[in-house]
Amino acid sequence: MDSETEYFLSQDGLRLYYRHWDCEHPSKMLCIIHGLGEHSNRHQELATFLNSQGITVFAMDLRGHGLSHGKRGHARSYPLLLSDIEELLKTARAEYTELPMYLLGQSMGGNLVANYVLKMNTTELSGFVLTSPWFRLAFEPPKWKVTLGKLVSGILPALTQPNDLNAADLSRDPVVIEAYDHDPLVHRVISAGLFTSATAAGEEALQRASEVKIKGLVIHGNADPIVSWKASKTYAETNELLTWTELDGVLHEPFQDLGKEEVMQQVAKWILAEA
């Protein structure tokens, strides 16, 4: 189904864009949080499939991304990003007051969702899904670069630098790579402040996985060259409320890579099976 689009205001007055893919007689509701540099409409295929399974879908463009306002690749603080997610959930709940609600985060969105379920009010949530969550990077950055990043973050937190992301690391599908490289709503930068705060938040969520109180599904491809799938596995296996799924040979974006249909079915099956 075609999406309906609208804006809501963040706590600090930014206009944040969101989409709603609706379906007839939905039984569940899912809110999607995208990854660094991308935007909500890259999840249209997933949303359309979930609609066919009776799941209504909301997705926002994070501040500094897509059609939302804010400097590209920057957020004034990490807690503001969590409050933005809270506003999306409120917006979705206003549309459907009774449906069980789930939250899904991809990559940096997974970092945010993992922290949301740890630190924010989760009474509205029946469960969450993380795909390729950014707990740790798949590689160890040079120590001098980390030290410099922390220094710059303290002095010029809004300073952005290229994120060095290669579209070929996202998917093995050449159509996806081509579309990403020519998408005008995709950006390839991250601020010193956002990188430093997200890195620390990812590590905190990993260390506190045992404190999560609601059910979650964690999905990660073991060929992801961007963020660590082993960290995701450790996170999931720390808490009996979490279910781990390892995807053989899949790169960073399971919903955009070869075999994506099976991953979409897996997510729908898990959501629909939850009471």
The string of pLDDT tens digits covering residues 160-197 is 999 999 999 999 999 999 999 999 999 999 999 999 99
pLDDT at 64: 99
CATH code of the region 4-273: 3.40.50.1820
* Torsion 79-82-88-89 (CA) sign: negative
The string of pLDDT tens digits covering residues 22-64 is 999 999 999 999 999 999 999 999 999 999 999 999 999 999 9
**Domain range summary for the chain, segments of one domain joined by +:** 4-273
State the Cα–Cα distance between residues 73 and 194, nearest whole angstrom. 8
Strand partners, 19: 5, 59
pLDDT at 165: 95
Q: What proportion of the chain, given as a percentage, has pLDDT over 70?
A: 99
State the Cα–Cα distance between residues 29 and 99, nearest whole angstrom. 6
Residue 47: closest CA among 86, 2, 91: 2
Residue 228: both structure tokens together: 């660590």
Residue 119: both structure tokens together: 């630190």
pLDDT at 275: 56
What stretches in the chain show pLDDT beneath 50?
Answer: none
Kindly provide the residue ranges of all beta strands, DSSP E only, lying in 111-265, ordered along the sequence: 125-131, 160-162, 189-191, 216-221, 242-247
pLDDT at 1: 60
